[in-house]
Amino acid sequence: MESLITAAARALEAGDPLGALNRVALRNDAPSLALRGIAMAQLGDLARAKTLLRSAARAFGPREAVARARCVVAEAEIALVSRDLNWPVKTLAAARATLENHGDLANAAHAGHIEARRLLLVGRIDEAERTLAEVSTASLPPASQVARELVVAGIAIRRLRTEAARAALDRAAKAARLAGIPALTAEVYSTNLILDTPAARLIARGSEHPLLLGEVERLATSTALVVDTFHHVVRRQGTVVSFGTRPVLFALARLLAQAWPADVSREALIAGAFQAKHVDESHRARLRVEIGRLRTKLKPLADVSATKQGFVLAPRKTRDVIVLARPVEEKHANVLAFLSDGEPWSSSALALALDMSPRTVQRALEELARSNKVQSFGHGRARRWLTPPVPGFPTGLLLPGPLLKT
Amino acid sequence: MKRSAAEIVREYGPFAGVESVHGVTYDGTHVWFASGDKLNAVDPANGKIARSINVAAHAGTAFDGRHLFQIAEDRIQKIDAATGQVLTTIPAPGGGGDSGLAWAEGSLWVGEYRARKIHQVDPQTGKVLRTIESKRFVTGVTWVDGELWHGTWEGDESDVRRIDPETGKVLEQLDLPAGTMVSGLESDGGDRFFCGGGSRGNVRTVRRPRRAAPR
């Protein structure tokens, strides 16, 4: 192929984006634009990289379908890393099909991994798993194996399968060493930390202690009655009662479970579940009604009995009651949970991931920003949010290196 | 124009440590190919690399009987084939957009890939003597028996074609199978072409069609 393009591509592969830029900085032909785009992405200027890759895709001729598809995949990866989750998914699927048809299996696999990572981020775990299953694993380069295993681990973590997650992360670490890319090794390491950091709090008989993900997983097989604040359900083994749309009833169930085997006073229940400052007769009447509803809902799992000063939980078929809560409970914990991946998120991407209205997410973010729990950069549609203790932007950007080869 | 499928006679490689083949030439004994940071001499009898010269080698390669010429970035290096020393360099006519290189009749012939051109260049000064327009992206260039042949690689298709050196008109075309790329071209002076296989990292021998009557 072309001399200077070859030289620039070799520099890029050797991890020298400035060397690559030196050779093609002033050229505007399609391969030069693509190389400049990848170099800029590696240097962290994702906005410039995106523009360059888009121009490159346009500049490649109609016969150069593969080169064009590779640019689309690179742009999709930049979109993923900058948490632009509304990026057109169909375009990526088409590019992936083109690469598959032309035998560029490594880059086709890369496109599949990007799609699976996007689905994982927006919480569509089953679809992420299906997409991953479609990607051929034959002769993947080590960097692609790392990407794949990270998605496998992500799915396993969301599904509370710690052993599967650990196994995937071990494979990812091995592949990262083979690839010799420090950023990938770091990404595997930080994912490993998730497994060794408390994922939840267990509250039982008035005391509490932190739980690792593996311990949360083991709880699923325990015979205890579990009030699960992650999923807003009360369950005992296979019997699950969902309180997704009944926050007041769930709050009452939780207050009763936390105090068990002791009872809870009416005043405490009213204050905790209705957020009422002064208790009057109308509150007492409402409490009676809500306890009646709770009793009906909980019937398969527990009874709620009246005591002298309030109510007490009476679990069936078990002598254990526990509450599973987030490690730190605060308002907007769900928003913070997504931001804790350290990546810059747009409020619209968060809204998509949380299945909340964009305005609600914006209000939550502004509130969190006032207490310095999150920070933002950029303006308007380009505004991004992230949690403060992030040294620069870890990107996890792989980018299909051999953009310009056959 | 005559058009036929290229007859691939033999394949050399892939070679250990070679990612891509960028340029190909023939010194009468060995097939030389450029692999980025090396020029490698392959013995066509056994397909083994007999010798390598450490020199930047990003595109076309040519041989004038004593010297190897090799494109690197935006220059053409003149290399003593015996010692491997770079003797001189001249600017490449495409300013880095250069692809194939051939030696014939005292001139260097340089393919400019995306510009779809072949330049005739003075090997002493690098001055462009004339330019031939092609219809497709130009990769390797070679002369044999007064015939000018060049490789094309546009998008996902490759062929080897003979063009009229005056008008650029295509006279004959050998199509390579889909997915087979020609990244460098050299004739052995007889009925064989050596074709670089791009990122497949190999070199193929393609048969040159026989003439009905000798000219």
Q: What is residue B186's predicted lDDT score, i.e. its pLDDT?
A: 95
Q: What is residue A342's predicted lDDT score, i.e. its pLDDT?
A: 63
Cβ of residue B36 closer than 8 Å to a chain A Cβ: yes
Q: What is residue B141's predicted lDDT score, i.e. its pLDDT?
A: 95
A254 CB-side CA count, 13 A: 22
Q: Are A6 and B36 an interchain contact pair (Cβ–Cβ within 8 Å)? A: yes
Q: Which residue has the higher pLDDT, A405 or B115?
A: B115
Lowest mean pLDDT of A85-89, A291-295, B32-36, B209-213, name the range: B209-213
- pLDDT digit string, tens, across residues A21-30: 999 998 999 9
Cβ of residue B101 closer than 8 Å to a chain A Cβ: no
Q: How confident is the model at residue B191 (pLDDT cuts 50, 70, 90)?
A: very high
Cβ of residue B177 closer than 8 Å to a chain A Cβ: no
- pLDDT of residue A391 exceeding 50, the answer is no
Please check whether residue A53 is in contact with residue A34, taking contact to mean a CB–CB distance below 8 angstroms. yes
Please check whether residue B89 is in contact with residue B75, taking contact to mean a CB–CB distance below 8 angstroms. yes
Cis peptide bond N-terminal to B209, omega within 30? no
- pLDDT digit string, tens, across residues A34-57: 999 999 988 888 889 999 999 999
- pLDDT of residue A393 exceeding 50, the answer is no
Q: How confident is the model at residue B60 (pLDDT cuts 50, 70, 90)?
A: very high
Q: Are A2 and B59 an interchain contact pair (Cβ–Cβ within 8 Å)? A: yes
Q: Are B58 and A29 an interchain contact pair (Cβ–Cβ within 8 Å)? A: no
Q: How confident is the model at residue B142 (pLDDT cuts 50, 70, 90)?
A: very high
- pLDDT digit string, tens, across residues A252-275: 999 999 998 999 999 899 988 887
Secondary structure (3-state) at A225:
strand
Instruction: Give the best-scoring range by mean pLDDT among A350-359, A391-400, B179-188.
Output: B179-188
Q: How confident is the model at residue A187 (pLDDT cuts 50, 70, 90)?
A: confident
Nearest one of A156, A180, A176, A174 to A166, comparing CA atoms: A156
DSSP A313: E
- Give phi and psi for B2, each to the nearest 5: -90, 135
Q: What is residue A341's predicted lDDT score, i.e. its pLDDT?
A: 67
State the best of B114, B116, B119, B199 to mutate against chain A, taking most chain A CBs within 10 Å: B114
Q: Which A residues, 95 through 134, put their C-beta within 8 Å of a C-beta on chain B?
A: 102-103
Lowest mean pLDDT of A162-171, A187-196, A330-339, name the range: A330-339
Nearest one of B186, B180, B201 to B5, comparing CA atoms: B180
**Structural tokens at position A294:** 């709770």
Q: What is residue A69's predicted lDDT score, i.e. its pLDDT?
A: 93
Euclidean distance between CA atoms B114 and A64, whole angstroms:
12
Q: Which residue has the higher pLDDT, B103 or A395?
A: B103
Q: How confident is the model at residue A370 (pLDDT cuts 50, 70, 90)?
A: confident
Q: Are A64 and B156 an interchain contact pair (Cβ–Cβ within 8 Å)? A: yes
- pLDDT of residue A397 exceeding 90, the answer is no
- pLDDT digit string, tens, across residues B18-35: 989 999 999 999 999 999
**ipTM for the predicted complex:** 0.88
What's the mean pLDDT when you consider all of chain A? Answer: 84
Q: What is residue A390's predicted lDDT score, i.e. its pLDDT?
A: 33
A-chain CB neighbours of B152 within 8 Å are none
Judged on CB neighbours under 10 Å (0-12, 13-18, 19+), A372 is exposed
Percent of chain A residues past pLDDT 90, beyond the cut? 34
Please check whether residue A112 is in contact with residue A134, taking contact to mean a CB–CB distance below 8 angstroms. yes
- pLDDT digit string, tens, across residues B103-135: 998 999 999 999 999 999 999 999 999 999 998
Q: What is residue B43's predicted lDDT score, i.e. its pLDDT?
A: 95
B-chain CB neighbours of A4 within 8 Å are 58, 73-74, 95-98
- pLDDT digit string, tens, across residues A135-174: 888 778 888 888 899 889 988 887 778 889 999 999 999 9
- pLDDT of residue B64 exceeding 70, the answer is yes
Cβ of residue A167 closer than 8 Å to a chain B Cβ: no
Over residues A216-241, mean pLDDT: 85
Among the partner residues A1, A3, A29, nearest to B73 by beta-carbon distance? A3
Cβ of residue A22 closer than 8 Å to a chain B Cβ: no
Q: What is residue A389's predicted lDDT score, i.e. its pLDDT?
A: 43
Cβ of residue B104 closer than 8 Å to a chain A Cβ: no
Q: What is the 3-state secondary structure (H, E, C) of chain B?
A: CEEEECCEEEEECCCCCCCCECEEEECCCCEEEECEEEEEEECCCCCCEEEEEEEEECCCEEECCCEEEEEECCEEEEEECCCCCEEEEEECCCCCCEEEEEEECCEEEEEECCCCEEEEECCCCCCEEEEEECCCCEEEEEEECCEEEEEEEECCEEEEEEECCCCCCEEEEEECCCCCCCCEEEECCCCEEEEECECCCCEEEEECCCCCCCC
- pLDDT digit string, tens, across residues A80-128: 887 777 788 899 999 999 999 988 888 899 899 999 988 887 778 899 9
Cβ of residue A16 closer than 8 Å to a chain B Cβ: no
Euclidean distance between CA atoms B60 and B102, whole angstroms:
8
Q: What is residue A273's predicted lDDT score, i.e. its pLDDT?
A: 87
In DSSP terms, B67 is beta-bridged to B80
Please check whether residue A320 is in contact with residue A204, taking contact to mean a CB–CB distance below 8 angstroms. yes
DSSP A157: H
| pTM across the whole model | 0.76
- pLDDT of residue A392 exceeding 50, the answer is no
B-chain CB neighbours of A64 within 8 Å are 154-156
- pLDDT of residue B180 exceeding 70, the answer is yes
Euclidean distance between CA atoms B121 and B130, whole angstroms:
7
Q: How confident is the model at residue A406 (pLDDT cuts 50, 70, 90)?
A: very low
Q: Are B96 and A3 an interchain contact pair (Cβ–Cβ within 8 Å)? A: yes
- pLDDT of residue A339 exceeding 80, the answer is no
Q: Which residue has the higher pLDDT, A207 or A34?
A: A34
Among the partner residues B74, B95, B181, nearest to A406 by beta-carbon distance? B181
